[in-house]
Amino acid sequence: MSGDILVFGEIRNGELKKVAKELVHGAMTIADGTGGSVDALIIGTGAEAEAAKLAGLGVRKVAVVDDEATANYSPEGYATVLADLVKEGDYGYVLLGATSMGRDLGARAVAKVDGVMFSDCVELGFDGGTVKVKRPVYSGKLYLEIAPTGGRPVFMTIRPNNLPPAAEKDGGGEVARRASGIDLAAIKAIATEIVPLAGGRPDVTEADIIISGGRAMKDASNFKLLEELADLLGGAVGASRAAVDAGYAVQPIQVGQTGKVVNPKLYIACGISGAIQHLAGMRTSKVIVAINKDSNAPIFEKAHYGIVGDLFEVVPILTEEIRKIL
């Protein structure tokens, strides 16, 4: 097994996910340690057009797979393409984004090559001749620093927004088309349809800014206040479990232990008390703002900035003030 690293560049709607450039950064860290090279794989419709985005980052070779069998996502199909390339290229390391697709196909592919995988890594380093990662366990209540024992391919899924994107470098890498080698008729599970989210807002797991509401929102219609602010900032709207259970918000935007784990640059918690399950889902946000009537709410212990006040008074002013400066 070599010290080379393969980065999986995920595309959705024909566009490369931004985490791909962060993965290249992580891959370069490993390459510095092993002396190996960084290659990339992009699968799906539009792969070739997006390949240039990675080829300019000091990547040696970008393999592009775009044929009939890979037009729609299939866990087995995509995992087969990835595993075949890992075996053929004798890659020692594989990096994927910790996304719906990356986590799903990564775990299937690592089984195919009998490797080892670390999920949801937030830090990645290389010293003493080995890669080591830091990853949250117990829903983010603790972290584990963990390393492979060696001798088999190491897969890692990396949470978006944790590593900086790789910098552009002179001299583009080679882009090479590759056949999937998959028989579409043999695929047993395949995506047939994707219905985009209504409202055009980013998903909470991908948003740079999240405006979140809790039980104090009092009613579903009051989430309009948060939506207005989120739209102004190009952000997403989130909710605590209490707000979802009360029927004020839908489950897919729930942030916390039984909802989504988010990692935005800015998280504004409005009327959220900060139950341990909620904190587990948002504590890694870069900047946390808490707005709450209760100055003893636990959310203030995790927040960077706090305002004690009624969200129905504070949020509209906040929206107006931000509108003025944008």
Q: How far apart are CA 158 and CA 123, in angstroms?
A: 8
Any residues with CB less than 8 A from the CB of 181 and at least 6 apart, and which?
80, 81, 84
Of 90, 183, 219, 301, the one binding another protein by CB under 8 A? 301
Nearer to another protein among residue 205 and residue 212 (C-beta):
205
Does residue number 134 form part of the binding site for another protein (CB under 8 A)? yes
Q: Which two tokens stand for residue 221?
A: 């219609």
Q: Which two tokens stand for residue 127?
A: 């010293």
Which of these, 247, 241, 237, lies nearest to 268 by C-alpha position? 237
Of 14, 90, 111, 177, the one binding another protein by CB under 8 A? 111
Of 168, 179, 183, 305, the one binding another protein by CB under 8 A? 305
Of 196, 221, 247, 296, the one binding another protein by CB under 8 A? 196
Contact set for another protein, span 58-77 (CB under 8 A):
73, 75-76
Phi, psi angle pair for 259, to nearest 5°: -125, -135
> Shortest approach of another protein to residue 169 CB, angstroms?
26
CB atoms near residue 253 (< 10 Å): 23
Q: How far apart are CA 194 and CA 176, in angstroms?
A: 28
Interface with another protein: number of residues (CB under 8 A): 90
CB 209 within 8 A of CB 233: yes
Which of these, 116, 124, 209, lies nearest to 166 by C-alpha position? 124
Of 46, 139, 218, 220, the one binding another protein by CB under 8 A? 139
> Shortest approach of another protein to residue 66 CB, angstroms?
19
Does residue number 199 form part of the binding site for another protein (CB under 8 A)? no
Amino acid (1-letter code) at residue 120: D
> Shortest approach of another protein to residue 54 CB, angstroms?
19
> Shortest approach of another protein to residue 177 CB, angstroms?
26
Does residue number 184 form part of the binding site for another protein (CB under 8 A)? no
Whole-angstrom CA distances from 119 to 62, 96, 287 are 24, 9, 24
Stretch near another protein under the rule CB under 8 A, chosen from 53-61, 169-177, 199-207, 216-224? 199-207
Q: How far apart are CA 123 and CA 88, in angstroms?
A: 28
Does residue number 252 form part of the binding site for another protein (CB under 8 A)? yes
Dihedral, 150, 178, 16, 170 alpha carbons, nearest 10: 80
Does residue number 87 form part of the binding site for another protein (CB under 8 A)? no
Alpha-carbon Rg for the chain, nearest whole angstrom, is 21
> Shortest approach of another protein to residue 28 CB, angstroms?
22
Q: Which two tokens stand for residue 195?
A: 């219905």
Of 32, 52, 90, 143, the one binding another protein by CB under 8 A? 143
Stretch near another protein under the rule CB under 8 A, chosen from 24-32, 33-41, 45-53, 147-155? 147-155
- x/- letters, 210..239, toward another protein (CB under 8 A): -----------------------x------
